């Protein structure tokens, strides 16, 4: 039986630490504040927003919501971003994405102040993740993988890691964060040949393939730590499943995160951590 790497205790530990840091900020007269920008009423956005609101309440973070209609104009969107940038009471901004296709998402991301960019969507944050230097934050989901590894005492330095997926939301930033902590990282993607063989070489595997239960037994061996970042609705099973075929991998590997209840459960805690960090930096 593999160790079950649940997200809840990780999120709880982060939250506990953040409560203390919020108190310290409040003693200085600073109320850490997250702005959430949502366009339209998409169910996945609403559900993530609810989770973020709950976690902010637990950690003592104030929230300002900017809600625009589905058919909003680019002008109104940019005005909202500009207001979030200007408002000195706001320390971090979360823009729920993807935006409706009628809007220019690139321009919106570029307009956001990097030091308030708590989900790593600006060029400034990307340069920071890539170089290990500068202002900004890593995308919350990629950072959540690192928090999982730290909490569960998985030593990263000098270890071989494989990341499946090269997106800007998970694959690329996770690879850079692992390398920053001295892992030897291989990034696999849709064009990778012999992927199972390559993934079996790794001791730490982060899976963000974007395909339900696509990563089966042939990718795994004993001793591995596996983080499954995928979240997919299985019509067949009528439940949420990851990108890993959990039933096939679990008997083989040393440790694996479940879906749901794994990496995804840590994301809003990391979001709050980034807001507190931004508030602490602003207070310096």
Q: Which of these ranges, 12-20, 176-184, 266-274, 275-283, lies near a copy of itself under the rule CB under 8 A?
A: 176-184
Comparison of 15 and 180: residue with beta carbon closer to a copy of itself: 180
160 near a copy of itself, rule: CB under 8 A: yes
188 near a copy of itself, rule: CB under 8 A: yes
Nearest partner of 9 among 200, 141, 153, judged by Cα: 153
130 near a copy of itself, rule: CB under 8 A: yes
Nearest partner of 64 among 93, 85, 101, judged by Cα: 93
| Other residues' Cβ atoms within 10 Å of the Cβ of residue 193 | 7
Token readout for 261 is 């209840």
129 near a copy of itself, rule: CB under 8 A: yes
Comparison of 12 and 127: residue with beta carbon closer to a copy of itself: 127
Burial class of residue 131 in the structure, from the number of CB atoms within 10 Å of its CB (0-12 exposed, 13-18 middle, 19+ buried)? exposed
127 near a copy of itself, rule: CB under 8 A: yes
In Å, the largest CA–CA distance within the chain is: 56
69 near a copy of itself, rule: CB under 8 A: no
CB of 89 to a copy of itself, least distance (A): 27
Cα–Cα distance measured from residue 282 to residue 274, given in angstroms and rounded to the nearest whole number: 12
CB of 197 to a copy of itself, least distance (A): 9
Nearest partner of 154 among 3, 37, 29, 1, judged by Cα: 3
Q: Kindly list the residues in this chain that would bind a copy of itself in the complex (CB under 8 A).
A: 106, 123-124, 126-131, 133-134, 157-160, 166, 168, 172, 176, 179, 182, 184-189, 191-193, 198, 201
């Amino acid at each position: 039986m593999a160790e079950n790497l649940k997200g809840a205790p990780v999120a709880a530990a982060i939250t506990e630490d953040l409560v203390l840091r919020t108190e310290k900020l409040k003693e200085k007269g600073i109320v850490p504040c997250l702005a959430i920008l949502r366009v339209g009423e998409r169910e996945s956005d609403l559900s993530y927003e609810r989770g973020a609101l709950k976690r902010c309440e637990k950690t003592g973070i104030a929230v300002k919501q900017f809600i625009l209609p589905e058919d909003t104009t680019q002008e109104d969107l940019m005005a909202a971003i500009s207001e979030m940038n200007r408002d000195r009471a706001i320390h971090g901004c979360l823009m729920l994405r993807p935006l409706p296709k009628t809007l220019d998402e690139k321009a919106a991301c570029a307009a956001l102040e990097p030091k308030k960019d708590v989900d790593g969507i600006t060029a400034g944050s990307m340069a920071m993740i890539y170089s290990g230097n500068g202002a900004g934050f890593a995308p919350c989901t990629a950072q959540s993988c690192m928090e999982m590894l730290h909490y569960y005492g998985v030593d990263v330095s000098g270890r071989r890691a494989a990341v499946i997926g090269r997106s800007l939301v998970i694959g690329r930033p996770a690879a850079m964060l692992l390398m920053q902590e001295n892992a030897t990282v291989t990034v696999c993607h849709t064009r990778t040949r012999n992927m199972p063989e390559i993934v079996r070489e790794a001791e730490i595997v982060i899976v963000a393939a974007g395909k339900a239960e696509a990563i089966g037994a042939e990718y795994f061996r004993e001793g591995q730590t596996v983080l499954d970042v995928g979240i997919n609705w299985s019509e067949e099973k009528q439940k949420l499943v990851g990108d890993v075929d959990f039933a096939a991998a679990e008997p083989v590997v040393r440790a694996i995160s479940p879906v749901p209840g794994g990496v995804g459960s840590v994301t809003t805690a990391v979001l709050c951590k980034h807001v507190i960090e931004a508030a602490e930096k602003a207070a310096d």
